Amino acid sequence: MKTTTIAIAAVSLLQLASAHPFKALHRHLHRHEKKDVVVTVVETDYAQPSEEPEVIVYVNQDGTPASTTTSYLADAPVTSATPTPTPVAEPTISVTPFLVASQPEDVAKPSSSSSALAYTAPVVPTAVASSLAAPPQTSSSAPSTSSSSSSEASGFGFSYSPYNSDNSCKTQDQVNTDFAKIGSGYALVRTYGTDCNQVATVLSAAKSKGLKLFAGIFDLASLNTEVATIVSAANGDWSSFDTISVGNELVDTGVASAATVVAAINTARGLLKAAGYTGKVVTVDTLVAAKANPTICDNSDYCAVNSHPFYDGNTVAEDSGSFLTKSISDLQAVLANKNQEIVITETGWPWQGETNDKAVPSPANQAAALSSIKTAFASKPGGVILFTAFNDMWKKNSAAQFKAEQYWGFLGNCPSG
């Protein structure tokens, strides 16, 4: 077996653009800062850039490019609580043959933003809080799907990230404090990775509120390890797990090909089944990526897509629900199984940020968007996961994301800090 040691350095913008020439709608980053590292790669001759610029092309819901901008990847949390790090030597990793080379997580601690630490969000308006307390009573037709549902219980899903504003990990007590603020009308919580012991801490908090867990595997290069972490947290009891996702927007961002993701889905499904898990296994990607690569849906137990009306630019907040139902109809047309269930695994509206043509961030518009979405999915609330419960102050705002990345929390700042 050939083993090659590669020093990974930044690639040019031109190289990255050729790797993935368009960006679909929106990308909420859950990525660790990349420094120059050394990676041991098995049976491969290429590697991912160590510090990635992203070429973002904003498109409408039909996939037509509208405008282009360039940004750099945001920081994501790591397990250390030290706010300002010194880069450290990186251990080598072995990548299984079907996977692309990738740096492991927790390379170095991102520096904290003083403005983020000092930030205090305004009190969530009454209109927002009341609209999120329970599903609307308005009768409305949900998108056509199969009879199965991604959630056994009746209620919407919401996403949650267990990170403090300084990028440190939240404790079990902190997670419990956050979940105490979650009202009724919800059945599922989505997480994105296995770092920070989050599978165990969020699972415990979810069980206390009768919620199911949508757990996520973040990095295909550590697939086996992340599966093992999930198996350990389950401890033989899978009753509170609804779905396990293998990657988030990997095809859309050019991190992995559709074929690589499909292979990872099958590998994870086999490992999980051997551990007693018989629930749903999917990959999550953007609406545009799924339409262009329907095999990622065809090989998932349901089609899981992130879709944000705000990034369409031609959609006002109160039309968010109809934007999503039309998007689902368009996507179903390209699937091998036209009756396959489609779940919107991320959608919402920011309450602060820069205007994107007709899409205007504000507390009132956030309330209008979420009300519209809940009305559209009133008969099938398990078909949508709202992004996100609390503001993500650990992220960095960027012009490419209309400086709104921190401000999607429909319940304001995390009670635990």
138-168: per-residue pLDDT in tens?
333 333 333 334 434 579 999 999 999 999 9
Residue with tokens 């609804």: 242
Short-list 398, 394, 388, 389, CA closest to 76: 394
Is pLDDT larger for residue 174 or for residue 5? 174
Buried b (16+ CB within 10 A) or exposed e, 339-356: ebbbbbbbbbbbbbbeeb
Residue with tokens 């697939």: 223
Q: What is the mean pLDDT of residues 128-141?
A: 36
For residue 152, give the amino acid letter. Answer: E
pLDDT of the residue at 393: 97
pLDDT of the residue at 282: 98
SS3 289: helix
CA 234, 146, 161, 293 dihedral sign is: positive
352 has a pLDDT exceeding 50: yes
Domains and CATH numbers, the chain: 114-401 (3.20.20.80)
Size of the chain, expressed as the number of residues it contains: 417
Q: What's 359's DSSP letter?
A: B
| pTM (predicted TM-score) | 0.69
Q: What's 416's DSSP letter?
A: T
Q: Comparing 71-80, 161-170, 335-344, which segment has the lowest mean pLDDT?
A: 71-80
* Distance of alpha carbon 10 from the chain centroid: 25
Type and span of the H or E element at 281: strand 280-286
Buried b (16+ CB within 10 A) or exposed e, 399-409: ebbbbbbbbbb
For residue 140, give Cα distances in angstroms to 72, 322, 357, 374, 387: 41, 11, 28, 10, 22
Short-list 32, 76, 26, CA closest to 56: 26
For residue 46, give Cα distances in angstroms to 9, 32, 378: 12, 20, 47
Chain mean pLDDT for the chain: 75
63 has a pLDDT exceeding 80: no
H helices present in 1-145, as ranges: 13-19, 114-118, 126-131
CA 361, 366, 368, 373 dihedral sign is: positive
- Tens of pLDDT, residue by residue over 375-409, are 999 999 999 999 999 999 999 999 999 999 999 99
Q: pLDDT class for 109, splitting at 50, 70, 90?
A: very low
Burial class (CB in 10 A: 0-12, 13-18, 19+), 389: buried
CA 74, 79, 85, 87 dihedral sign is: negative
Q: What is the mean pLDDT of residues 167-190?
A: 98
Q: What is the mean pLDDT of residues 59-71?
A: 46
Q: Which tokens go with 4? A: 């090659």
What percentage of the chain carries pLDDT values higher than 70?
63
Q: Which tokens go with 94? A: 């072995």
Contact 187, 211 (CB under 8 A): yes
125 has a pLDDT exceeding 50: no
pLDDT of the residue at 153: 53
Is pLDDT larger for residue 225 or for residue 21? 225
- Tens of pLDDT, residue by residue over 226-267, are 999 999 999 999 999 999 999 999 999 999 999 999 999 999
Q: Say how far apart CA 263 and CA 261 lie, in whole Å.
A: 5
Q: What is the mean pLDDT of residues 110-131?
A: 33
* Distance of alpha carbon 327 from the chain centroid: 18
Short-list 309, 108, 102, 53, CA closest to 218: 102
For residue 316, give the amino acid letter. Answer: V
What percentage of the chain carries pLDDT values higher than 90?
63
* Catalytic pick among 90, 249, 346, 405: 346
Q: Say how far apart CA 167 and CA 110 lie, in whole Å.
A: 8
Concerning whether 346 is annotated as a catalytic residue, the answer is yes
pLDDT of the residue at 52: 40
For residue 362, give the amino acid letter. Answer: S
pLDDT of the residue at 224: 98
pLDDT of the residue at 266: 98
314 has a pLDDT exceeding 80: yes
pLDDT of the residue at 154: 77
SS3 346: strand
